[in-house]
Amino acid sequence: MAQLSKKLLLAAPRGFCAGVDRAIQIVEKALTKYGAPVYVRHEIVHNRYVVENLEKKGAVFVDELSDVPENVPVIFSAHGVAKSVPAEAEEREMFYIDATCPLVSKVHREAERHDKDDMEIILIGHKGHPEVIGTMGQLPDGRIQLVETVEDARNYNPAKPEAGLAYLTQTTLSVDETKDIVDVLKKRFPHISSPKKEDICYATTNRQAAVKELAKHCDGVLVIGAPNSSNSMRLVEVANKAGCAISEMVQRASDIPWKKLEKCQTIGITAGASAPEELVEEVVDAFRKRFDITVEEITNSEEHVTFKLPRVLES
């Protein structure tokens, strides 16, 4: 019997962004320079495959600095940390390297600048996400107010109406949903201060635009990523809102929902910003074993962004 055929469309860009690539390099170079073990506070990026590969090389992932023994290097994750974390490290005289994505650090500096100008600050983001915890932790409790939804924006009441108002955003949000929230805030507070340059990172924006384009040509979309990865979860939502009824998150090829994809002839595949290309290849290979496939790439934009490593690792 002839093998069934499927068409796979790969989104471009997909997978690693410059901040994730830099963070992983920081751990690998620290292991080379200082030897194992190197401790990392929280997952360096939200992807178990990446974390487990680094563990095999000698990285040890912990929840808090209190879990780190004396006289070993410790790295802070790409999502950024509250100011209390490096303060604790310095108090313990620990050697630490900050792998915070430079685009997240930009949001931190914006928060400090607005606070210095005595402005009331709104952060658009998801409660409990490490990036949000880190950004809110740049200032004393209560200085930054979290807005998660359009409804929150409609109900928001400034504590100091006479003060200036500014908003910041988590870097990995849905572009469209964030725009809806910002539109409400700007309508209610016409003089609200916006970021000088968009806070949502280039990679998040590009991957969401690529998935919108992908969804036009597919009857199913698979997003390779992790359920605790904000940018990956947003890709599933974007594909669904773009008209793809079957939009699924998979961490590995073993998670592919074959039954749901039975009637899909054209399947789009993308990967969140913390998912490596090896996992894309693994998923494609899984399809190849079951079907006669054709593979095509749909390029929506090109990326050439790189970030420098910390000086301590450059030598």
What pLDDT is recorded for position 19?
97
Six-digit token pair at 88? 């604790």
CA-based diameter of the chain, in Å?
Answer: 75
Q: Which of 148, 146, 145, 156 is nearest to 186 (CA)?
A: 156
Q: Do 130 and 77 form a contact (C-beta atoms < 8 A)? A: yes
Q: What is the CATH number of domain 18-98?
A: 3.40.50.11270
Domains 5-16+202-299 and 18-98 in one fold: no
Give the C-alpha distances (Å, rounded to integers) separating 180 from 109, 145, 171, 190, 276. Answer: 25, 18, 16, 15, 31
Q: In the chain, at which residue ranges do the beta strands (DSSP E only) sit?
A: 5-12, 38-41, 59-62, 74-76, 96-98, 120-124, 144-147, 165-169, 220-224, 247-250, 266-271, 292-299
Nearest-angstrom CA–CA distance, 75 and 90: 13
Per-domain residue ranges of the chain: 5-16+202-299, 18-98, 102-200
Six-digit token pair at 83? 């100011």
| Span 80-97, pLDDT tens digits | 999 999 999 999 999 999
- The CATH fold assigned to 102-200 is Cobalt-precorrin-4 Transmethylase; domain 1 (3.40.1010)
What pLDDT is recorded for position 315?
66
| Span 247-300, pLDDT tens digits | 999 999 999 999 999 999 999 999 999 999 999 999 999 999 999 999 999 999
Nearest-angstrom CA–CA distance, 24 and 40: 11
- The CATH fold assigned to 5-16+202-299 is Cobalt-precorrin-4 Transmethylase; domain 1 (3.40.1010)
Give the C-alpha distances (Å, rounded to integers) separating 114 from 119, 165, 177, 222, 308. Answer: 5, 9, 24, 40, 27
Please tell me the pTM assigned to this model.
0.94
| Span 151-182, pLDDT tens digits | 999 999 998 877 899 999 999 999 999 999 99
What pLDDT is recorded for position 286?
98
What pLDDT is recorded for position 3?
67
Within 13 A of 226's CA, how many CA atoms are on the CB side? Answer: 14
Q: Do 65 and 87 form a contact (C-beta atoms < 8 A)? A: no
Terminal C-alpha separation, the chain? 60
Catalytic residues: 131
Q: Rounded to the nearest 10 degrees, what angle do helices 18-34 and 102-116 cross at?
A: 110
Averaged pLDDT for residues 59-73: 96
What pLDDT is recorded for position 82?
98
Q: Which residue has the tokens 């572009």?
A: 175
| Span 195-254, pLDDT tens digits | 988 889 999 999 999 999 999 999 999 999 999 999 999 999 999 999 998 999 999 999
